[in-house]
Amino acid sequence: MATADLPAVPAGFTGRKDDLARLMPVLDPSAESDLLVVICAVSGLGGIGKTSLALAAAHRAVRDGWFPGGTLFVDFRGYDEDPATAEQALIALLDRLGVRGTDLPQTATAQYALYRRLLAEEHHSMLLLFDNASDPAQLSPLIPGTDHHRVLITSRDRLTDLDARLIDLDVLKPEDAAGLVGRSLRLSDEGDGRAGREREAVGELAVLCGHHPLALRIAVGMLRKRRYRSIASLVEELRRAEDRTRALGVRPVFDVAYGQLAAEQARLLRLLSVAPTAEVSGEAAVALAGLPDEETFALLEGLASAHLVTPVSTGGEVRWRLHDLVRLFAAGMAAGGADLREEGDAARERLLAFYVRWAEAADLRFQWLPGMAEPERFTDRVRAFAWLDAERTGLVAAVQWAREERYAAMAVRLAGCLIRYLEWWRHLDDGITVARTALETTQRLGDHPGEAVAWNRLGMVLRSAGRPEEAIEACLRARDLFQDLGNRSGEACSWDDLANALAVSGRMEEAIEAHIRSRGLYQALQDRRGEGNAWNHLGATLQDVGESEEAIDAHARARDLYKAVGDLNREALAWTNLGTALGTAHHITEAIEAFTRALDIHRGFEDWLRVGGVLHNLAVAHELSHQPTEARAHYLQAADAFTRANAPNRAARAQSAARALT
């Protein structure tokens, strides 16, 4: 159990430079410390390489002469069925210190006293490496009472009850994982050049192993046995494996860790695995758990202490990530029986309801006008955008649940809430995915009104993605469906979107005709906001064909219609477009006035993205009127607005334009 000699560092140990850099200064006995006894505890998921790292650090320290008093090593077998107790370890340690037979005191109290006295009398620094501990009770009685020794502990759990420097060990970096495969293969056969020839396959193997050292070592063992087969063949087998954790031989590690969890912790681990992404926000975890916030966070912290989830701090918020192999294992447990599957399905419903609630609130904030009810939660557009940005990956992935009947209606509803945001922020691949999923689902359900809306939304995103011909086809499908349904408002909207797509494709005459058809339908419906949209978009198309004066008139009509219905947001957009048309017609003074009107409205809404855009336009207008000082000031203000809107690329471009004027 206890040895004076350190075990060897496992063959093939590689990487961990950053982790060694954190660990070595703590072990250095010459370093000053405020602690009575300097203890370092390395913790991490089973098989993550804690012992290998500890041994590598210990051997380096011994080589450098840091511990002339020697080393003591104890394997506590903390996660075996029969872990070592502190008393068992004590007797083994005393034996290594030369106390055995009749010299060994008869009582535990006397044995502990002798152990502490021997360490206190040993004036040369010693290193005590306590490996694979699971409980502070195994360790506390064995900690020396002097500060010139060092104690290094490894554990799967974060030993927060100890006054120790805690170092959490994560998986290997991708390049280190690949290096482990290549180095380990060459150790057994120096002529094995597969890793060098199949670099892409090595990278794929590392991903399938989750960059987990134990899984990688087991995979290397499999490759050694199949010496004359390619790495790619193993990659393909692992991809097809029903249970990759079992195929990689790491299932027993996870079984032990799972078996030691409290029932509520095990339940939350299963539920986290049914989330659409490996990383979720705290709010999303609460929705999955269906428990109060504090109870959920306590369970998450317990799972983090066991290294089954990893807390990730982003922008002041903590998110919770499952390692890929842990997620596969937990998903397998969640699918283990009818009751567990229903538990997971109910959790997905709760998460989807959470996503829909706040995505709808964010979308309503984008459309909000004075006099309307205030949307929940988001007091301005910036906060709405920030929430959508943080949750975007999960939101888009959750829409894919629409392919399952149980979630179809709510997932399509979620898709409708996201399109405006995804198109506005140019997440166009996600937008197309969301729109196509909604379309396929409404078609499968025979929901013709929903299908018409989905075709229209798909056309809008395809147009923004620079795929006008596909956008035109989608808008035509929407128009025809709306016509068949007798939905004249929907038909008017689809004509307008069709016109925009035709304009992007260069079919200007057809675009203008479609705008006019849309405008006529809106006029017949006495929908002044819709008519304003048609005029506004017609103005943009007229600008594109060089009809600046007609464009000015169209944007002015749109502005007046928006103003008549109290739609300040769209009025500001019309003022912006009017300013652009005036600038094109060389009416620079009037353009500046129009942009200024737009700026005042957008500032009133704290719509910093559009504030930045209008300030940029004002800067350009001042440049054209040979006012570089004013132009530079507006570029800098635009950069500030884009920064507030969390649009760093646009902020950088505005700052660059300002510097060009100095």
pLDDT of residue 234: 95
Residues 129 and 69 in one domain: yes
Residues 188 and 160 in one domain: no
Task: State mean pLDDT over 304-315.
Answer: 89
Structural domain includes residue 329: yes
Residues 96 and 10 in one domain: yes
pLDDT tens column, 239-295: 999 999 999 989 998 999 999 999 999 999 999 999 999 999 999 999 999 999 999
Look up the CATH number of the domain holding residue 148. 3.40.50.300
Neighbouring-strand partners of residue 302:
none
Q: What's the token pair of residue 446?
A: 């025979």
Tally of helices (H runs) and strands (E runs) in the chain: 31, 9
> In the predicted model, is pLDDT for residue 371 greater than 90?
no
Count of alpha carbons within 13 angstroms of residue 81, beta-carbon side: 1
CA angle 357, 360, 366 (to 5 degrees): 145
Listed residue (475, 597, 483, 489) closest to 533, CA to CA = 489
Q: How confident is the model at residue 647 (pLDDT cuts 50, 70, 90)?
A: confident
Residues 8 and 157 in one domain: yes
Q: b/e per residue, 175-186, with b = 16+ CB within 10 A?
A: ebbbbbbbbbbb
In angstroms, the CA 586 to CA 541 distance is 18
Domain boundary among 307, 336, 365: 336
pLDDT tens column, 545-569: 999 999 999 999 999 999 999 888 8
Residues 43 and 89 in one domain: yes
**CA dist 48 → 10, 253, 352 (Å):** 13, 10, 34
pLDDT tens column, 599-641: 999 888 878 889 999 999 999 999 999 999 999 999 999 999 9
pLDDT of residue 478: 98
Chain-centroid distance, C-alpha 515: 41
pLDDT tens column, 24-50: 999 998 877 665 567 889 999 988 999
Q: How many domains does the chain have?
A: 3
CA angle 382, 385, 389 (to 5 degrees): 135
Structural domain includes residue 306: yes
Rg (the chain; Cα; Å) = 33
**CA dist 160 → 23, 260, 572 (Å):** 17, 18, 56
Structural domain includes residue 533: no
pLDDT tens column, 171-183: 999 999 999 999 9
Structural domain includes residue 210: yes
> In the predicted model, is pLDDT for residue 3 greater than 80?
no
Chain-centroid distance, C-alpha 301: 19
Chain-centroid distance, C-alpha 218: 29
How does DSSP classify residue 140?
G
In angstroms, the CA 578 to CA 528 distance is 18
Kindly state the helix (H) or strand (E) to which residue 150 belongs, with its residue range: strand 150-155
Which residues have C-beta within 8 Å of that of residue 50, sequence separation ≥ 6?
42, 43, 44, 154, 155, 156, 169
Domain boundary among 120, 147, 168: 168
Helical spans, DSSP H, in 306-447: 324-334, 338-367, 381-399, 408-424, 428-445
Residues 242 and 256 in one domain: no
pLDDT of residue 36: 56
Identity of residue 445: L
| Mean pLDDT for the chain overall | 93
Residues 182 and 274 in one domain: no
Q: What is the pTM of this model?
A: 0.84
> In the predicted model, is pLDDT for residue 486 greater than 60?
yes
Q: What are phi and psi of 39, to 5 degrees?
A: -125, 140
Residues 179 and 229 in one domain: yes
Q: What's the token pair of residue 467?
A: 């795929």
Residue 109's domain comprises: 2-168
> In the predicted model, is pLDDT for residue 215 greater than 60?
yes
Structural domain includes residue 641: no
pLDDT above 90 as % of the chain: 80
Domain boundary among 168, 200, 219: 168
In angstroms, the CA 391 to CA 321 distance is 13
Residues 132 and 264 in one domain: no
In angstroms, the CA 60 to CA 605 distance is 61
Residues 106 and 164 in one domain: yes
pLDDT tens column, 390-443: 999 999 999 999 999 999 999 999 999 999 999 988 899 999 999 999 999 999
Cβ contact 215:53 at 8 Å? no
Structural domain includes residue 653: no
In angstroms, the CA 151 to CA 130 distance is 7
Residues 8 and 95 in one domain: yes
Identity of residue 403: R
Q: Where are the beta strands (DSSP E) in 230-328?
A: 279-281, 310-314, 317-321
Residues 33 and 156 in one domain: yes
Identity of residue 309: V
Look up the CATH number of the domain holding residue 290. 1.10.10.10
Structural domain includes residue 222: yes
pLDDT tens column, 341-354: 999 999 999 999 99
In angstroms, the CA 115 to CA 181 distance is 43
Cβ contact 497:510 at 8 Å? no
Structural domain includes residue 370: no
